[in-house]
A and B are shown apart, each in its own frame.
Chain A
Amino acid sequence: MTAAPMTATPMNSPILWIHGAALGPANPALVAWPGRPAVFVFDDALIAGSALSLKRLGFLYECLLELPVTIRRGDVASEVLAFAARHQADGVVTTAAVDPRFRQLGQAIAARVPLTVLPVEPFVAPEAGGPQPGDLGRFSRYWRRAEPLVWQRFKG
Protein backbone atom coordinates (compact mmCIF):
# COMPACT_ATOMS: atom_id res chain seq x y z
CA MET A 1 0.00 0.00 0.00
CA THR A 2 1.21 3.45 -0.76
CA ALA A 3 1.44 5.63 2.31
CA ALA A 4 0.87 9.32 2.68
CA PRO A 5 3.55 11.30 4.48
CA MET A 6 4.20 9.64 7.78
CA THR A 7 5.55 11.21 10.93
CA ALA A 8 7.17 9.53 13.87
CA THR A 9 5.92 12.18 16.28
CA PRO A 10 4.71 10.49 19.45
CA MET A 11 1.05 11.21 20.13
CA ASN A 12 -0.95 10.97 23.32
CA SER A 13 -4.34 12.20 22.25
CA PRO A 14 -4.80 12.00 18.49
CA ILE A 15 -8.01 11.96 16.57
CA LEU A 16 -8.58 9.25 13.96
CA TRP A 17 -9.30 10.06 10.35
CA ILE A 18 -11.41 7.28 8.88
CA HIS A 19 -11.65 7.27 5.07
CA GLY A 20 -13.51 5.30 2.44
CA ALA A 21 -10.84 2.66 1.90
CA ALA A 22 -10.93 1.43 5.50
CA LEU A 23 -14.54 1.24 6.71
CA GLY A 24 -14.31 -1.89 8.83
CA PRO A 25 -13.79 -2.49 12.55
CA ALA A 26 -10.34 -3.93 11.76
CA ASN A 27 -9.21 -0.50 10.51
CA PRO A 28 -5.70 -0.31 12.06
CA ALA A 29 -6.30 3.23 13.36
CA LEU A 30 -9.42 2.11 15.26
CA VAL A 31 -7.61 -0.96 16.58
CA ALA A 32 -4.52 0.97 17.66
CA TRP A 33 -6.45 3.80 19.36
CA PRO A 34 -9.68 2.39 20.78
CA GLY A 35 -11.95 5.05 22.20
CA ARG A 36 -10.27 8.02 20.53
CA PRO A 37 -12.57 10.38 18.63
CA ALA A 38 -12.82 9.36 14.99
CA VAL A 39 -14.19 11.28 12.03
CA PHE A 40 -15.29 10.47 8.50
CA VAL A 41 -15.89 13.31 6.05
CA PHE A 42 -18.04 12.97 2.94
CA ASP A 43 -15.83 14.59 0.31
CA ASP A 44 -18.10 17.17 -1.33
CA ALA A 45 -15.67 17.94 -4.16
CA LEU A 46 -15.27 14.26 -5.03
CA ILE A 47 -19.00 13.54 -4.81
CA ALA A 48 -19.86 16.45 -7.10
CA GLY A 49 -16.91 15.94 -9.45
CA SER A 50 -17.64 12.26 -9.98
CA ALA A 51 -21.45 12.65 -9.86
CA LEU A 52 -21.64 9.78 -7.39
CA SER A 53 -25.08 8.22 -7.13
CA LEU A 54 -27.02 7.98 -3.89
CA LYS A 55 -26.38 4.22 -3.79
CA ARG A 56 -22.69 4.75 -3.27
CA LEU A 57 -23.18 7.35 -0.54
CA GLY A 58 -25.77 5.16 1.18
CA PHE A 59 -23.43 2.17 1.18
CA LEU A 60 -20.73 4.26 2.85
CA TYR A 61 -23.20 5.68 5.36
CA GLU A 62 -24.37 2.20 6.37
CA CYS A 63 -20.77 1.13 6.89
CA LEU A 64 -20.20 4.21 9.08
CA LEU A 65 -23.24 3.50 11.24
CA GLU A 66 -21.48 0.36 12.50
CA LEU A 67 -18.32 2.24 13.46
CA PRO A 68 -17.72 4.61 16.42
CA VAL A 69 -17.22 7.60 14.18
CA THR A 70 -18.49 11.15 13.82
CA ILE A 71 -19.81 11.75 10.29
CA ARG A 72 -19.32 15.10 8.55
CA ARG A 73 -19.35 16.50 5.04
CA GLY A 74 -17.39 19.22 3.29
CA ASP A 75 -13.74 19.87 2.55
CA VAL A 76 -11.99 16.80 3.95
CA ALA A 77 -8.71 18.31 5.13
CA SER A 78 -10.43 21.33 6.71
CA GLU A 79 -12.97 19.15 8.48
CA VAL A 80 -10.33 16.75 9.81
CA LEU A 81 -8.25 19.68 11.10
CA ALA A 82 -11.31 21.28 12.71
CA PHE A 83 -12.18 17.96 14.35
CA ALA A 84 -8.62 17.74 15.71
CA ALA A 85 -8.97 21.24 17.17
CA ARG A 86 -12.39 20.41 18.64
CA HIS A 87 -10.84 17.53 20.60
CA GLN A 88 -7.57 19.34 21.44
CA ALA A 89 -5.75 16.56 19.61
CA ASP A 90 -1.99 16.44 19.28
CA GLY A 91 -2.11 14.63 15.97
CA VAL A 92 -4.10 12.62 13.44
CA VAL A 93 -3.88 8.87 12.89
CA THR A 94 -5.17 7.24 9.75
CA THR A 95 -4.77 4.14 7.61
CA ALA A 96 -2.90 3.82 4.33
CA ALA A 97 -4.75 3.97 1.01
CA VAL A 98 -3.63 3.78 -2.61
CA ASP A 99 -5.88 6.54 -3.95
CA PRO A 100 -3.77 9.55 -5.00
CA ARG A 101 -6.48 11.78 -3.54
CA PHE A 102 -5.72 10.28 -0.12
CA ARG A 103 -2.09 11.31 -0.55
CA GLN A 104 -3.09 14.90 -1.39
CA LEU A 105 -5.44 15.14 1.58
CA GLY A 106 -2.80 13.59 3.85
CA GLN A 107 -0.29 16.20 2.76
CA ALA A 108 -2.75 19.03 3.47
CA ILE A 109 -3.39 17.64 6.95
CA ALA A 110 0.27 16.87 7.68
CA ALA A 111 1.17 20.47 6.81
CA ARG A 112 -0.80 21.57 9.91
CA VAL A 113 -0.66 18.72 12.45
CA PRO A 114 1.41 15.55 12.89
CA LEU A 115 -0.06 12.70 10.82
CA THR A 116 0.60 9.00 11.33
CA VAL A 117 -0.40 6.60 8.57
CA LEU A 118 -0.77 3.00 9.68
CA PRO A 119 -0.26 0.21 7.14
CA VAL A 120 -2.87 -2.43 6.34
CA GLU A 121 -1.97 -6.11 6.19
CA PRO A 122 -0.76 -6.77 2.63
CA PHE A 123 -2.26 -9.50 0.43
CA VAL A 124 1.24 -10.70 -0.44
CA ALA A 125 3.87 -10.42 2.26
CA PRO A 126 6.71 -8.17 1.08
CA GLU A 127 9.26 -10.98 1.11
CA ALA A 128 12.22 -11.78 -1.06
CA GLY A 129 11.01 -13.22 -4.34
CA GLY A 130 7.67 -11.41 -4.17
CA PRO A 131 6.31 -9.07 -6.83
CA GLN A 132 8.43 -6.02 -7.53
CA PRO A 133 7.34 -2.73 -9.10
CA GLY A 134 8.80 -3.97 -12.39
CA ASP A 135 6.51 -7.00 -12.39
CA LEU A 136 3.29 -5.12 -13.05
CA GLY A 137 3.37 -5.01 -16.86
CA ARG A 138 0.85 -7.84 -17.04
CA PHE A 139 -1.03 -9.82 -14.40
CA SER A 140 0.63 -13.10 -15.39
CA ARG A 141 4.05 -11.79 -14.45
CA TYR A 142 2.85 -10.38 -11.12
CA TRP A 143 1.03 -13.61 -10.33
CA ARG A 144 4.05 -15.82 -11.04
CA ARG A 145 5.75 -13.98 -8.18
CA ALA A 146 2.76 -13.54 -5.88
CA GLU A 147 0.99 -16.88 -6.13
CA PRO A 148 3.60 -19.04 -4.37
CA LEU A 149 3.76 -16.60 -1.46
CA VAL A 150 -0.01 -16.48 -1.09
CA TRP A 151 -0.29 -20.26 -1.11
CA GLN A 152 2.50 -20.66 1.46
CA ARG A 153 -0.18 -19.77 3.96
CA PHE A 154 -2.39 -22.73 2.99
CA LYS A 155 -2.08 -25.48 5.55
CA GLY A 156 -4.41 -27.96 3.83
Chain B
Amino acid sequence: MQSGDSLPELAPGDLPRQFTSRAALQQHLQQLFPSASGALSPIVGGWAAAQERLAAVDPGAYGRSRNHLAGAVTHLSPYIRHGVLGLAAVRDAVLGRITRRPEGEKLVNELGWRDYWQRLWGQLGDGIWDDQEPLKTGHPASSYASELPADIAGGSTGLACMDAFAAELRATGWLHNHARMWLAAYVVHWRRVRWQAGARWFLQHLLDGDPASNNLSWQWVASSFSHKPYLFNRANLERFGAGHHCQGCPAARRCPFDASYEALEQRLFAVTPTPRRR
Protein backbone atom coordinates (compact mmCIF):
# COMPACT_ATOMS: atom_id res chain seq x y z
CA MET B 1 0.00 0.00 0.00
CA GLN B 2 1.37 3.37 -1.04
CA SER B 3 1.98 6.21 1.33
CA GLY B 4 2.45 9.91 0.64
CA ASP B 5 5.64 11.16 -1.03
CA SER B 6 7.18 12.94 1.93
CA LEU B 7 6.37 10.64 4.80
CA PRO B 8 6.05 12.33 8.17
CA GLU B 9 8.25 10.89 10.89
CA LEU B 10 6.18 8.98 13.43
CA ALA B 11 6.14 10.38 16.96
CA PRO B 12 4.49 8.71 19.96
CA GLY B 13 0.74 8.54 19.39
CA ASP B 14 1.01 8.97 15.62
CA LEU B 15 -0.88 6.22 13.83
CA PRO B 16 1.01 4.01 11.34
CA ARG B 17 1.03 4.71 7.62
CA GLN B 18 2.56 1.50 6.32
CA PHE B 19 0.50 -1.64 5.84
CA THR B 20 1.35 -4.75 3.91
CA SER B 21 -2.25 -5.29 2.81
CA ARG B 22 -5.84 -4.18 3.30
CA ALA B 23 -6.23 -7.05 5.73
CA ALA B 24 -3.42 -5.58 7.84
CA LEU B 25 -5.09 -2.17 7.77
CA GLN B 26 -8.37 -3.77 8.82
CA GLN B 27 -6.71 -5.56 11.72
CA HIS B 28 -5.07 -2.31 12.81
CA LEU B 29 -8.41 -0.49 12.75
CA GLN B 30 -10.14 -3.27 14.67
CA GLN B 31 -7.55 -2.91 17.43
CA LEU B 32 -7.69 0.87 17.33
CA PHE B 33 -11.49 1.14 17.32
CA PRO B 34 -12.82 -2.06 18.88
CA SER B 35 -16.35 -0.71 19.08
CA ALA B 36 -16.53 0.04 15.33
CA SER B 37 -18.53 -2.79 13.79
CA GLY B 38 -17.82 -4.82 10.70
CA ALA B 39 -14.99 -5.00 8.19
CA LEU B 40 -13.53 -2.82 5.44
CA SER B 41 -15.73 -2.03 2.45
CA PRO B 42 -14.78 -3.42 -0.94
CA ILE B 43 -14.89 0.25 -2.01
CA VAL B 44 -11.35 1.58 -1.66
CA GLY B 45 -10.69 5.07 -0.37
CA GLY B 46 -8.23 7.54 -1.83
CA TRP B 47 -7.52 9.75 -4.80
CA ALA B 48 -6.29 7.00 -7.10
CA ALA B 49 -9.50 5.04 -6.68
CA ALA B 50 -11.50 8.24 -7.15
CA GLN B 51 -9.71 8.94 -10.42
CA GLU B 52 -10.60 5.48 -11.70
CA ARG B 53 -14.25 6.07 -10.87
CA LEU B 54 -14.22 9.50 -12.46
CA ALA B 55 -12.63 8.16 -15.66
CA ALA B 56 -15.43 5.59 -15.92
CA VAL B 57 -18.26 8.13 -15.69
CA ASP B 58 -20.54 8.10 -18.75
CA PRO B 59 -22.91 11.08 -18.39
CA GLY B 60 -25.22 10.01 -21.22
CA ALA B 61 -25.60 6.47 -19.93
CA TYR B 62 -26.13 7.86 -16.43
CA GLY B 63 -28.97 10.03 -17.68
CA ARG B 64 -30.66 7.12 -19.43
CA SER B 65 -30.30 4.42 -16.79
CA ARG B 66 -29.64 5.96 -13.38
CA ASN B 67 -32.96 4.97 -11.82
CA HIS B 68 -32.28 1.27 -12.37
CA LEU B 69 -30.29 -0.62 -9.76
CA ALA B 70 -28.06 -1.93 -12.54
CA GLY B 71 -27.84 1.50 -14.19
CA ALA B 72 -24.67 3.42 -15.03
CA VAL B 73 -24.45 5.35 -11.76
CA THR B 74 -21.12 6.96 -10.95
CA HIS B 75 -20.22 5.68 -7.46
CA LEU B 76 -18.49 9.01 -6.91
CA SER B 77 -20.48 9.98 -3.82
CA PRO B 78 -18.04 8.72 -1.13
CA TYR B 79 -15.18 10.61 -2.78
CA ILE B 80 -17.22 13.79 -3.14
CA ARG B 81 -18.51 13.53 0.42
CA HIS B 82 -14.99 13.46 1.83
CA GLY B 83 -13.55 16.04 -0.53
CA VAL B 84 -11.26 13.58 -2.30
CA LEU B 85 -12.90 15.07 -5.38
CA GLY B 86 -14.29 18.59 -5.23
CA LEU B 87 -17.81 19.10 -6.51
CA ALA B 88 -16.51 21.82 -8.85
CA ALA B 89 -13.86 19.47 -10.23
CA VAL B 90 -16.46 16.79 -10.93
CA ARG B 91 -18.67 19.40 -12.59
CA ASP B 92 -15.80 20.41 -14.87
CA ALA B 93 -14.96 16.78 -15.66
CA VAL B 94 -18.57 16.14 -16.71
CA LEU B 95 -18.85 19.31 -18.76
CA GLY B 96 -15.56 18.48 -20.47
CA ARG B 97 -16.70 15.00 -21.40
CA ILE B 98 -19.96 15.78 -23.21
CA THR B 99 -20.50 17.31 -26.62
CA ARG B 100 -24.18 18.18 -26.24
CA ARG B 101 -25.85 19.64 -23.18
CA PRO B 102 -28.65 17.02 -22.94
CA GLU B 103 -26.04 14.29 -22.41
CA GLY B 104 -24.94 15.86 -19.14
CA GLU B 105 -28.13 17.41 -17.80
CA LYS B 106 -29.17 14.63 -15.45
CA LEU B 107 -25.75 14.22 -13.92
CA VAL B 108 -25.15 17.95 -13.53
CA ASN B 109 -28.58 18.22 -11.93
CA GLU B 110 -27.63 15.49 -9.47
CA LEU B 111 -24.44 17.36 -8.56
CA GLY B 112 -26.70 20.36 -8.00
CA TRP B 113 -28.63 18.33 -5.40
CA ARG B 114 -25.41 17.82 -3.47
CA ASP B 115 -24.71 21.56 -3.51
CA TYR B 116 -28.30 22.30 -2.52
CA TRP B 117 -28.22 19.94 0.49
CA GLN B 118 -24.89 21.40 1.62
CA ARG B 119 -26.23 24.96 1.45
CA LEU B 120 -29.27 23.95 3.46
CA TRP B 121 -27.06 22.29 6.06
CA GLY B 122 -25.11 25.53 6.33
CA GLN B 123 -28.38 27.31 7.11
CA LEU B 124 -29.90 24.68 9.39
CA GLY B 125 -26.84 23.48 11.29
CA ASP B 126 -27.82 20.77 13.77
CA GLY B 127 -31.46 21.70 13.11
CA ILE B 128 -31.10 19.29 10.19
CA TRP B 129 -32.12 16.60 12.72
CA ASP B 130 -35.52 18.27 13.26
CA ASP B 131 -38.64 17.94 11.13
CA GLN B 132 -38.54 20.84 8.70
CA GLU B 133 -42.33 20.76 8.27
CA PRO B 134 -45.25 18.78 9.70
CA LEU B 135 -45.70 15.29 8.24
CA LYS B 136 -48.36 14.96 5.55
CA THR B 137 -49.23 11.35 6.36
CA GLY B 138 -52.07 12.15 8.74
CA HIS B 139 -50.22 10.44 11.58
CA PRO B 140 -48.91 12.45 14.54
CA ALA B 141 -45.13 12.52 14.80
CA SER B 142 -45.48 10.89 18.24
CA SER B 143 -46.98 7.74 16.69
CA TYR B 144 -43.68 6.85 15.00
CA ALA B 145 -41.26 4.58 16.88
CA SER B 146 -38.05 6.25 17.94
CA GLU B 147 -35.81 3.18 17.53
CA LEU B 148 -35.05 1.16 14.44
CA PRO B 149 -36.45 -2.39 14.80
CA ALA B 150 -33.64 -4.96 14.99
CA ASP B 151 -34.97 -7.06 12.13
CA ILE B 152 -34.52 -4.16 9.71
CA ALA B 153 -30.89 -3.43 10.58
CA GLY B 154 -30.20 -7.16 10.85
CA GLY B 155 -31.67 -7.92 7.47
CA SER B 156 -34.14 -10.46 8.84
CA THR B 157 -37.50 -8.98 7.92
CA GLY B 158 -38.24 -11.87 5.57
CA LEU B 159 -38.66 -9.41 2.68
CA ALA B 160 -35.96 -10.35 0.17
CA CYS B 161 -35.60 -6.83 -1.22
CA MET B 162 -35.28 -5.01 2.10
CA ASP B 163 -33.02 -7.67 3.57
CA ALA B 164 -30.77 -7.51 0.52
CA PHE B 165 -30.53 -3.73 0.79
CA ALA B 166 -29.69 -3.92 4.50
CA ALA B 167 -27.02 -6.56 3.82
CA GLU B 168 -25.49 -4.47 1.02
CA LEU B 169 -25.47 -1.39 3.24
CA ARG B 170 -23.71 -3.30 6.00
CA ALA B 171 -21.20 -5.03 3.71
CA THR B 172 -20.29 -2.22 1.33
CA GLY B 173 -21.38 1.10 2.83
CA TRP B 174 -23.07 2.04 -0.40
CA LEU B 175 -26.58 1.72 -1.82
CA HIS B 176 -28.12 2.83 -5.09
CA ASN B 177 -30.28 5.89 -4.52
CA HIS B 178 -33.45 4.04 -5.47
CA ALA B 179 -32.68 1.33 -2.91
CA ARG B 180 -32.14 4.04 -0.30
CA MET B 181 -35.55 5.51 -1.09
CA TRP B 182 -37.33 2.16 -1.00
CA LEU B 183 -35.65 1.20 2.25
CA ALA B 184 -36.42 4.60 3.79
CA ALA B 185 -40.07 4.44 2.71
CA TYR B 186 -40.36 0.94 4.15
CA VAL B 187 -38.87 2.06 7.48
CA VAL B 188 -40.92 5.23 7.82
CA HIS B 189 -44.26 4.35 6.22
CA TRP B 190 -44.65 0.58 6.50
CA ARG B 191 -42.95 0.21 9.88
CA ARG B 192 -43.93 3.64 11.21
CA VAL B 193 -40.46 4.51 12.50
CA ARG B 194 -39.19 8.06 12.89
CA TRP B 195 -36.98 9.06 9.99
CA GLN B 196 -34.22 10.09 12.43
CA ALA B 197 -33.72 6.46 13.48
CA GLY B 198 -33.26 5.41 9.88
CA ALA B 199 -31.01 8.36 9.15
CA ARG B 200 -28.74 7.48 12.09
CA TRP B 201 -28.52 3.88 10.84
CA PHE B 202 -27.53 4.99 7.34
CA LEU B 203 -24.88 7.36 8.70
CA GLN B 204 -23.26 4.52 10.61
CA HIS B 205 -22.64 2.69 7.36
CA LEU B 206 -22.78 4.87 4.26
CA LEU B 207 -19.32 5.86 3.05
CA ASP B 208 -20.92 8.97 1.57
CA GLY B 209 -23.00 9.64 4.68
CA ASP B 210 -23.37 13.18 5.83
CA PRO B 211 -26.35 14.71 7.57
CA ALA B 212 -27.01 17.01 4.62
CA SER B 213 -27.88 14.63 1.79
CA ASN B 214 -28.85 11.81 4.13
CA ASN B 215 -31.18 13.51 6.59
CA LEU B 216 -32.88 15.74 4.07
CA SER B 217 -33.51 12.79 1.76
CA TRP B 218 -35.05 10.88 4.67
CA GLN B 219 -37.18 13.93 5.39
CA TRP B 220 -38.18 14.06 1.74
CA VAL B 221 -39.38 10.46 1.93
CA ALA B 222 -41.09 11.01 5.29
CA SER B 223 -42.82 14.19 4.01
CA SER B 224 -41.32 16.58 6.56
CA PHE B 225 -39.39 18.15 3.68
CA SER B 226 -41.76 17.63 0.77
CA HIS B 227 -45.38 18.22 -0.12
CA LYS B 228 -46.20 14.49 -0.09
CA PRO B 229 -44.80 11.28 1.38
CA TYR B 230 -42.79 9.12 -1.01
CA LEU B 231 -44.25 5.70 -1.72
CA PHE B 232 -43.34 2.84 -4.01
CA ASN B 233 -45.00 -0.45 -4.81
CA ARG B 234 -43.91 -3.87 -5.97
CA ALA B 235 -44.33 -3.03 -9.64
CA ASN B 236 -42.02 -0.03 -9.21
CA LEU B 237 -39.43 -2.09 -7.36
CA GLU B 238 -39.58 -4.89 -9.91
CA ARG B 239 -39.23 -2.48 -12.81
CA PHE B 240 -36.19 -0.61 -11.47
CA GLY B 241 -34.72 -3.50 -9.53
CA ALA B 242 -34.89 -5.89 -12.49
CA GLY B 243 -37.30 -8.05 -10.48
CA HIS B 244 -34.70 -10.41 -9.12
CA HIS B 245 -35.48 -9.72 -5.47
CA CYS B 246 -38.98 -11.11 -5.80
CA GLN B 247 -37.88 -14.42 -7.28
CA GLY B 248 -37.66 -16.77 -4.36
CA CYS B 249 -38.71 -14.15 -1.82
CA PRO B 250 -40.28 -15.98 1.13
CA ALA B 251 -42.87 -13.20 1.36
CA ALA B 252 -43.68 -13.01 -2.35
CA ARG B 253 -47.24 -14.24 -1.81
CA ARG B 254 -47.92 -11.82 1.04
CA CYS B 255 -45.80 -8.94 -0.22
CA PRO B 256 -46.69 -5.72 1.62
CA PHE B 257 -45.73 -3.72 -1.45
CA ASP B 258 -47.90 -5.63 -3.91
CA ALA B 259 -50.77 -3.19 -4.32
CA SER B 260 -51.82 -0.14 -6.25
CA TYR B 261 -50.66 3.23 -5.02
CA GLU B 262 -54.24 4.08 -4.13
CA ALA B 263 -54.60 0.96 -1.98
CA LEU B 264 -51.27 1.62 -0.27
CA GLU B 265 -52.29 5.20 0.54
CA GLN B 266 -55.44 3.92 2.15
CA ARG B 267 -53.51 1.35 4.12
CA LEU B 268 -50.56 3.48 5.22
CA PHE B 269 -51.84 7.01 5.68
CA ALA B 270 -54.59 8.54 7.73
CA VAL B 271 -55.27 11.03 4.99
CA THR B 272 -55.16 10.30 1.30
CA PRO B 273 -52.43 12.43 -0.15
CA THR B 274 -51.30 11.61 -3.63
CA PRO B 275 -47.89 10.11 -2.92
CA ARG B 276 -44.79 11.23 -4.65
CA ARG B 277 -43.30 8.71 -7.04
CA ARG B 278 -39.89 8.90 -8.55
Contact = CB atoms under 8 A, between A and B. Distances in A.
Interface string A50-89: 1111111111111111111111111000000000001000
A55 B85 contact: no
A143 interface: yes
A53 B82 CA distance: 16
Interface in B1-42: 1-8, 10-11, 13-15, 17, 19, 25-26, 29-30, 32-33, 35-41
Contacts of A153: 91-92, 95
B140 interface: no
Contact of B123 (A133, A139, A147): A133
Nearest to B94: A154
Given A56-B207, A60-B82, A70 B36 contact: no
A122 B89 CA distance: 10
Contact of A62 (B44, B119, B200, B204): B44
A10 interface: no
Interface in B97-151: 98-101, 104, 108-109, 111-116, 118-123, 125-126
Contact of A52 (B26, B36, B82): B36
Interface string A145-156: 011001101111
B116 A99 contact: no
Nearest to A74: B13
Given A2-B122, A71-B17, A21 B83 contact: yes
B20 to A, nearest CB: 13
A99 B212 CA distance: 9
Contact of A57 (B29, B119, B120): B29
B263 interface: no
Contact of B8 (A70, A143, A155): A70
A21 B101 contact: no
Contacts of B3: 65-66
A150 B203 contact: no
Interface string B49-64: 1100000000000000
Interface residues of A, number: 65
From B32, B116, B173, residue with most partner A Cβ within 10 Å: B116
Nearest to A25: B47
A73 to B, nearest CB: 7
Nearest to B5: A68
Contact of A53 (B36, B87, B121, B126): B36
Contact of A123 (B5, B91, B100, B205): B91
B43 A59 contact: yes
B125 to A, nearest CB: 4
Interface in A23-73: 23-27, 35, 37-38, 42, 47-48, 50-73
A102 to B, nearest CB: 11
Contacts of B83: 20-24, 27, 95, 120
Given A2-B122, A143-B109, A63 B8 contact: no
Contacts of B256: none
6 contacts: A20-B83, A59-B82, A63-B45, A66-B47, A146-B116, A150-B108
Given A62-B49, A71-B14, A153-B92, 6 more contacts: A24-B86, A52-B36, A63-B84, A69-B8, A73-B15, A156-B95
Interface of B: 1-8, 10-11, 13-15, 17, 19, 25-26, 29-30, 32-33, 35-41, 43-50, 78-79, 81-89, 91-92, 95, 98-101, 104, 108-109, 111-116, 118-123, 125-126, 170, 172-173, 200, 203-207, 209-212
The 8 lowest CB-CB distance pairs between A and B, nearest first, are A62-B45, A68-B4, A22-B83, A59-B45, A121-B88, A123-B115, A71-B15, A55-B173
